[in-house]
Amino acid sequence: MFAIFSKFPNPEKLLDELAIFDDKFGDIPKFEYEPFEDLMECYKIFHKYKFNNDDEHIQLFNILSFVSNQYFALKNCSFQRRNIESVQLVDELVESCRKKNLWSETTVEKYFLGMELARNWRMFFVSYTKKNVRATNNKFFNITRRRKSGEHQLATYIVERLGTELGWDLNDQRDYFYDKSSIQTGAHWERLCKEKVETSFTLIQLVEQAIFNKEPVSENYAYREFFDFMEVRKPYLEIDNSRCAFILLDVSNKELETEVVPEYQSWKKFIRQTHQPWQPLINIKPREMETEVIPALKKHIISNANKVVNKYLSLIKENFDLN
C-alpha cells in the first residue's frame, strides 16, 4: 500500500525542519521539492495535528480530503485522476504514525479504505450482452457507423466517446472497465468482472431484449454483474441518486413490466424506475447522441464518483462506523 520510492527522503525530518522555520521566522524557504505547494499542504495538515490529538478521525478527515483533491480534479464537470508525489509523502507519514501506534487500528483501516477509493476505484463498469450482437450492430449502425461482427459496436462507441470527453488515454484502463479491452487473454474473467464491478462508482448497463433471454440465470452475466454491483452494501455508497446508468436500446417501459423469470422481476423493476430519460436509444438520432446522451452520461458518472468520495469523507468526520 505504501510507496517504496519517494522524492522525499526522511519525510518526518523534513516536516520537522519546516516547522522550525515556521516557528522561528514565520516564513518557509522554498525547498527543491516539486510540487512545492502540495508539500506545503502536507506540512499544514501534519504539523497542525502532530499525530497526538484525541480527535484522530478529524485528522484523518483532513488527510483524506487532501488526498482526494489530489486524485480527483472535479471542475466544470471534467475528471482527471492525477498521480501526485505529495500523496507518497502522506503515505509515508501515515505509515510512521501506524508504526508508532499513534492511531487506532480502526482509523488506520479507514485510511486504507479511503486511499483505495481514491486510487483504485473505477469511474464506470460497462455491462452488456453479446447475444444477437450482429442484429444489434445493424440496428445502431446510424450511430456507430460500424458493423464489425463479434464485437458490440455500440458499447465500444460509448466507451470511446466517454474517454474522449473525459480526456483519457483509452489504453490506460485504470479508470473504467469494459471487457473488450480490460480482460487480458487467459485471465479468470468471471472473478475479475465481479471484483471490478464491486469497485466501480457507476454501472453502465445496455438494456436490450436479449439481455433477459439467457437461462439458466447463473449464466446471465449481465444479471450477475447487476446483482454483484447492488450487493455491495456500505453507508458511503448510499448516495441520493442511483449509481446505475441503464440505457434502454430497443426495450420500452411497457416491455419491462412483464417477466416470467422470477429473479429478473426486481431487476426489471429497478431498470424501469431508474433508467436514463432519453429512451429507447433506437429512436435517438446521431446528433442527439453526441450532444445529449454522452454529455449526460459523463455528468452522471462524475457526479457519482464525487458523491461517493464526499459521503465517505463526511462519515469519517462524524467518526461513523463504515462496516
Residue 320 lies in a domain: no
Q: How confident is the model at residue 42 (pLDDT cuts 50, 70, 90)?
A: low
Whether 179 and 45 share a structural domain: no
Q: Which long-range contacts (CB under 8 A, 24 or more apart) does 34-41 make?
A: 34/7, 34/85, 35/84, 35/85, 35/86, 38/70, 38/84, 38/85, 38/86, 39/8, 39/86, 39/89, 41/66, 41/86
- Residue 184 has what pLDDT? 58
pLDDT of residue 75: 40
Predicted confidence at residue 290, as pLDDT, reads: 93
pLDDT digits (tens, 9 = 90+) for 211-224: 987 678 888 989 99
* One domain for residues 114 and 216: no
Return the minimum-mean-pLDDT range out of 43-52, 206-215, 262-271, 311-320. 43-52
Let me know if residue 6 belongs to a domain.
Answer: no
**Whether residues 99 and 150 fall in one domain:** no
Domain membership flag for residue 323: no
Instruction: Check whether residue 87 and residue 165 sit in a common domain.
Output: no
- Region 13-38: mean pLDDT is 55
Please state the pTM of the whole predicted model.
Answer: 0.84
Answer yes or no: do 267 and 166 share one domain. yes
Determine the average pLDDT of the residues in 301-323.
Answer: 87
Residue 5: which pLDDT band, with cuts at 50, 70 and 90?
very low
Calculate what percentage of the chain has a pLDDT beyond 90.
31
Identify the CATH number of the domain in which residue 253 sits: 3.40.50.450
CA pair distance 68, 56, nearest whole angstrom: 18
Residue 162 lies in a domain: yes
Q: Are residues 109 and 170 in the same domain?
A: no
Identify whether residues 130 and 263 lie together within a single domain: yes
Q: Reply yes or no: is the peptide bond before residue 277 cis, omega within 30 of 0.
A: no
Provide mean pLDDT across the span 288-298.
Answer: 93
In a domain, 281, yes or no: yes
Is residue 188 pLDDT above 90, yes or no? no
Confidence of residue 292 (pLDDT cuts 50, 70, 90): very high
232 near 198, Cβ under 8 Å?
yes
Tell me the residue range of the domain where 244 lies: 122-309
pLDDT score of 92: 75
Phi/psi at 176 (5° precision):
-155, 165
Given 91, 120, 149, which residue is the final one in a domain?
A: 120
Of 150 and 233, the structure prediction assigns the larger pLDDT to 233
Are residues 62 and 201 located together in one domain of the fold? no
Residue at which a domain ends, from 76, 101, 120: 120
Quick one: 82 and 184 in the same domain? no
Q: Are residues 99 and 161 in the same domain?
A: no
- Asked if residue 167 belongs to a domain, the reply is yes
Q: What is the pLDDT of residues 81-122, one digit of tens each?
A: 555 566 777 777 777 777 777 788 888 899 999 988 888 899
Percent of the residues in the chain that have a pLDDT greater than 70, as a whole number? 75
One domain, residues 199 and 251: yes
If you average pLDDT over residues 139-168, what whole number do you get?
88
Return d(Cα 100, Cα 104) in angstroms, integer: 10
pLDDT digits (tens, 9 = 90+) for 235-254: 999 887 679 999 999 888 88
Domain count, the chain: 2
- The rounded mean pLDDT for the chain is 79
* Residue 150 and residue 108 share a domain: no
Q: Which of 71, 102, 120 is the last residue of a domain?
A: 120
